[in-house]
């Protein structure tokens, strides 16, 4: 039976994708993820999680754009890897934020279309009685 991924596993996989060196493929990602999450996931397991699938797609697009690694001393290589990982994470988060903003505009329009008022949307959540 396939391993179910926890939110911690998903974050680990996204960090792995953001810091990926060389050609990226589903099989290579599954092999690299095995020691990190305690078992080799399948391609289907990884691609069923939207966050992992989006990070994978962004990384593939970035590789297709022709980003070339240059030779540097070791300390600069570490800094370059960190910068590249952070830039990749930043690009992925920008795209994710753009998708969320697009969804918000869609919800805003649908709320207006169905006659919902701003006061209805801003109403407080009901209190939870925990006793």
What is the token pair recorded at 3? Answer: 């391993």
What's the CA gap between 65 and 69, in Å, rounded?
Answer: 13
**Residue closest to 60 by CA, chosen among 97, 40, 88, 31:** 88
Q: Which helix (H) or strand (E) holds 8?
A: helix 7-18
Tens of pLDDT, residue by residue over 67-97, are 655 566 678 888 888 899 999 999 999 999 9
Domain ranges of the chain: 7-121
pTM of the model: 0.57
What's the CA gap between 76 and 111, in Å, rounded?
Answer: 51
């Amino acid at each position: 039976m396939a391993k179910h991924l926890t939110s911690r596993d998903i974050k680990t996989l996204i960090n792995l994708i953001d810091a990926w060196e060389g050609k990226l493929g589903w099989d290579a990602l599954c092999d690299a993820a095995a020691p990190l999450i305690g078992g080799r996931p399948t391609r289907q397991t990884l691609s069923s999680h939207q966050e992992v699938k989006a990070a994978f797609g962004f990384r593939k697009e970035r590789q297709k754009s022709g980003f070339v690694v240059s030779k540097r001393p070791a300390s600069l290589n570490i800094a370059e890897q960190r910068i590249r990982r952070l830039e990749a994470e930043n690009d992925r988060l920008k795209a994710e934020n753009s998708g969320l903003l697009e969804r918000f505009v869609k919800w805003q329009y649908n709320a207006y279309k169905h006659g919902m008022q701003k006061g209805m949307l801003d109403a407080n959540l009901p209190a939870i009685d925990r006793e």
